[in-house]
């Protein structure tokens, strides 16, 4: 097991949702953190809670949907904490609804934040990692990248693309000392995009706690785990079927109530 004590971790989406839980886990393991999100006030609150762990924390407000701000995030992280050892691509946008009714601005925002920003941040931090022959990128994807997500088609597409980019990049960088990991959370209680709906998924689908996702990030970092699914057990057969037998996977999504549940969420 590797230690992340003293390593510089750039964490996006750090002000709300899963971000504060991931930040707490990383700080508890001794990492120095660059916290990135749009909300300066939210980042300051998270930073204040992390002070008890004694590590260094840099607060970097930025809108990752805007290309110029991505380079500034990396520049400020290096200036305040030093070279980036770990990039955690956690920031995400989920604008749910029927695809035919979604505005193009909503679609572009999801693709920019969920996919383009992680790729560009990786391009910015990887050269120094490759030169030092050490570093790691952890992507927070979603089980939506493995199974259909009706009324969330663009979100699912962005997460699937992120996961496949990670798999491809891992092969490109084999032998370089760089690790690429992907976390696939399912429905998460209390925090994250799903929690804002205030709905409890049916028992046939289930949900997990945000601490479980944070723990998976730590396992990926300390155990060099390439992919980790963090979902309730009832959903896992659908994930496997969706990848191996798409028709059977879609049938099981109906049987589990996942399709109807997504319809309810989209209707608010």
Q: What is the pLDDT of residues 120-173, one digit of tens each?
A: 999 999 999 999 999 999 999 999 898 888 999 999 999 999 999 999 999 999
Segment 228-257, tens digit of pLDDT: 999 887 677 777 778 888 888 888 888 888
Cβ–Cβ under 8 Å, residues 57 and 36 = no
Q: How many CB atoms lie under 10 A from the CB of residue 220?
A: 24
Question: What pLDDT band is residue 1 in, cutting at 50, 70 and 90?
Answer: low
Is the pLDDT reported for residue 30 higher than 90?
yes
- Per DSSP (E only), the strands in 42-157 are 57-61, 86-89, 135-140
**DSSP state, residue 206:** -
Least confident interval from 25-34, 150-159, 171-180, 255-264: 255-264
Instruction: Name every residue whose Cβ is closer than 8 Å to that of residue 59 and which is 6 or more positions away in sequence.
Output: 35, 40, 43, 44, 47
Q: What is the dihedral of CA 89, 153, 245, 194, to 10 degrees?
A: 60
pLDDT one-digit tens code per residue, 55-84: 999 999 999 999 999 999 999 999 999 999
Q: Is 155 a catalytic residue?
A: yes
pLDDT band at 267 (very low <50, low <70, confident <90, very high): confident
pLDDT band at 193 (very low <50, low <70, confident <90, very high): low
Give the pLDDT confidence score for residue 205 in this predicted structure.
Answer: 79
Choose the catalytic residue: 19, 60, 122, 155. Answer: 155
Q: Which helix (H) or strand (E) holds 251?
A: helix 246-256
- Evaluated on CA atoms 254, 256, 257, 259, the torsion sign reads negative
Segment 196-223 mean pLDDT: 86
Answer for the pair 206, 236: CB distance below 8 angstroms, yes or no.
Answer: no
Q: What is the mean pLDDT of the chain?
A: 91
CA–CA gap between residue 217 and residue 138 (Å, rounded): 7
**Cα–Cα distances in Å, from 54 out to 10, 48, 84?**
17, 11, 19
- Determine the pLDDT at residue 207: 85
- Domains within the chain, CATH numbers bracketed: 8-233 (3.40.50.720)
Burial 78-101 (b: 16+ CB within 10 A, else e): beebeebbbbbbbbbbbebbeeee
Who has greater pLDDT, 208 or 41? 41
């Amino acid at each position: 097991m590797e230690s992340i004590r003293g390593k510089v971790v750039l964490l996006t989406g750090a002000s709300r949702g899963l971000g504060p839980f991931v930040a707490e886990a990383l700080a508890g393991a001794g990492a120095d953190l660059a916290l990135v999100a749009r909300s300066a006030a939210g980042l300051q609150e998270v930073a204040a809670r992390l002070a008890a762990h004694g590590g260094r924390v840099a607060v970097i407000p930025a809108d990752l949907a805007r290309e110029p701000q991505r380079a500034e995030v990396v520049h400020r992280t290096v200036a305040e904490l030093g070279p980036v050892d770990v990039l955690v691509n956690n920031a995400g946008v989920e604008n749910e609804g029927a695809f035919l009714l979604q505005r193009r601005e909503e679609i572009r925002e999801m693709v920019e934040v969920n996919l383009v920003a992680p790729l560009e941040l990786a391009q910015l931090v990887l050269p120094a990692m490759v030169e030092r022959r050490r570093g790691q990128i952890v992507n927070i994807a979603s089980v939506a990248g493995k199974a259909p997500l009706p009324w969330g088609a663009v979100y699912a597409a962005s997460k699937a693309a992120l996961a496949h980019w990670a798999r491809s990049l891992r092969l490109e960088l084999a032998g370089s000392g760089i690790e690429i990991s992907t976390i696939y959370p399912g429905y998460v209680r209390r925090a994250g995009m799903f929690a804002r709906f205030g709905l409890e998924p049916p028992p046939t689908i289930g949900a997990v706690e945000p601490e479980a996702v944070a723990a998976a990030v730590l396992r990926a970092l300390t155990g060099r785990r390439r992919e980790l699914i963090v979902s309730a057990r009832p959903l896992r057969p659908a994930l496997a079927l969706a990848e191996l037998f798409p028709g059977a996977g879609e049938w099981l999504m109906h049987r589990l109530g996942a399709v109807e549940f997504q319809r309810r969420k989209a209707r608010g």
